[in-house]
Amino acid sequence: MAGERKFRLGVLGSGKGSNYVAIANAITAGRVAAEVALVVSDVADAGILAQARQFGHAAQFLPPGKFRTKLDEEAERAYITALQTAQVDLIVLAGFMRILKGDFLRAFEGRVINIHPSLLPSFPGLEAWKQALDYGVKVAGCTVHFVDQGVDSGPIIGQHTVPVLPDDTAATLHARIQQAEHELYPAAVAALARGEVEVRGRQVWWRK
Ligand code: GRF
């Protein structure tokens, strides 16, 4: 219906923003019933901000403060205010390289999701595709999950698998996993936007 309020996304990213682009393209193609209300980065010259401007989405650099792996208190408040002011329904972490905790998660309880480049709970943390290759697994993949107080530990919304091939390098495996991410993340956001995702503790099911 004309004038009906759309489901609003807040996107946080620190890097090139290929997952954000996949979601933005899926919105344009009509596969995700949502709009990007705001893109925020903790890195002033992050590719994701340039991409957002190309899409005509509101994009903002917000300084992270004095820590390396998390937001300091003042920065956390600024992030919360920006996202609340943008009236976001869902916060989509797309390569955001800082751990979010406490006040931030309480402000957006159950409404923060992340994509991780491994089949969790295997290989949480950094360079997960390299961890998988070094370990010698034969199946790798990606996971979309709700964000909780831990690192890559929240309830799993969806996973896609990819094979690990004999000649793989960290770079080729990473590229294959990223392709899978670009399918999975828009699909998960679409299901959440349609209200089709049911959460029962750690069990998360898509009703369609
Ligand atoms: C993705 O591989 C995602 O799994 C991880 O960070 C990366 C972000 O890539 N959380 P991009 O900025 O979306 O290209």
- Per residue in 7-45, pLDDT (tens digit) is 999 999 999 999 999 999 999 999 999 999 999 999 999
Residues 6+ apart with CB under 8 A from 18: 95, 178, 181, 182
Question: What phi-psi label fits residue 103: left (phi over 0), alpha (psi between -120 and 50 degrees) or beta?
Answer: alpha
Distance 95 CA to ligand 1 centre (A): 4
When pLDDT is cut at 50, 70 and 90, the band that residue 55 belongs to is very high
> Mean pLDDT for the chain?
97
Nearest-CA residue for atom 2 of ligand 1: 117
pLDDT in tens, 94-127: 999 999 989 999 999 999 999 999 999 999 999 9
Kindly state the average pLDDT of the residues 68-74: 96
Residue 208, pLDDT > 90, answer: no
Mark 170-189 as b/e (b = at least 16 C-beta within 10 Å): eeebbebbbebbbebbbbbb
What's the rounded Cα separation, in Å, for the pair 65 and 46?
A: 16
Residue 29, SS3? coil
For ligand 1, which residues put their CB under 6 angstroms from it?
A: 13, 15-19, 94-95, 115-117, 142, 178, 181
Structure pTM? 0.97
Residue 1, pLDDT > 70, answer: no
Which DSSP state fits 153? -
Cis peptide before 64 (omega within 30 of 0): no
Ligand 1 atom with the smallest distance to the CA of 22 is 13
When pLDDT is cut at 50, 70 and 90, the band that residue 2 belongs to is low
What's the rounded Cα separation, in Å, for the pair 45 and 207?
A: 39
What's the rounded Cα separation, in Å, for the pair 122 and 170?
A: 17
Cis peptide before 121 (omega within 30 of 0): yes
Nearest-CA residue for atom 10 of ligand 1: 95
Among 115, 123, 142, residue to substitute to test ligand 1 (most atoms within 8 Å of Cβ)? 115
